[in-house]
Amino acid sequence: MAVDSLPAPFSQELEPQWRSALASKLELLGEIENRLKGSEFLPPMEAVLRVFKQPLDQIKVVIFGQDPYPTIGHANGLAFSVETDINPLPKTLQNILKEYESDLGKTFAGGGDLSGWSEQGVALINRTLTVAPGRSNSHLKFGWREFTDEVANILGQRDLVAILWGNNASELSGYFRDEFKIQSPHPSPLSAYRGFFGSKPFTRANVILSELGKEPINW
């Protein structure tokens, strides 16, 4: 969408716990917001910080990806997720759901909508939170990576599971304890066969959650 004036500062979109934890990055968030003004970007303005409307203390699992889907209508503010009416699904998401079926022995019932995971405490966060339509990684230097570095730093101080898919996500590996971390290649068609398939992230995450005394995710 083209945005000439953003309706509310990004910082106001943050859930209060997140806004407090990210206080040192609110100025940066404002700078990114100004850089986006007057340009076309995805996801829609109101969805850019959707994942940060989830209370920080409710997060049990974080899944980091690269950047939003660059196809208009696909990105919805939750990494890897799309709305239920999207068909066909993005190929990356198709691969995630193939691994889901292999790992859990069942078919995913939500189409491509992963919001049911989010509602259970799974934070689906892209390394870069916006993208120009049709141009993957086009906002790589907008400041988002510094912002999500701090997000990873905050989450890494908590007892939660970190699932890191691909090189962009793996850059955050050092923020998380080895025993709480699940890493693999990205589920995109270019890399899924290099170790994403067969990585069993869903069952492994639930094993860690059980060891932490937390309720497993109903993936």
What pLDDT, in 10s, does the model give residues 106-141?
A: 999 999 999 999 999 999 999 999 999 999 999 999
Name which of 88, 108, 92 is nearest 100 in CA terms.
Answer: 108
Handedness of CA 210, 215, 217, 218 (dihedral sign): positive
What percent of the chain has a predicted confidence (pLDDT) above 90? 91
Whether pTM exceeds 0.85: yes
Query: What confidence score (pLDDT) does residue 6 get?
Result: 43
Q: Give yes or no for residue 3 having a pLDDT over 70.
A: no
178 carries an active-site annotation:
no
**Residue 15 corresponds to which tokens in the numbers above?**
């859930």
Q: Spell out the domain ranges in the chain.
A: 10-211
Q: Is CATH 3.40.470.10 what the domain over 10-211 is classified as, yes or no?
A: yes
Name which of 105, 108, 79 is nearest 188 in CA terms.
Answer: 79
**Of the listed 67, 85, 103, 159, which one is catalytic?**
67
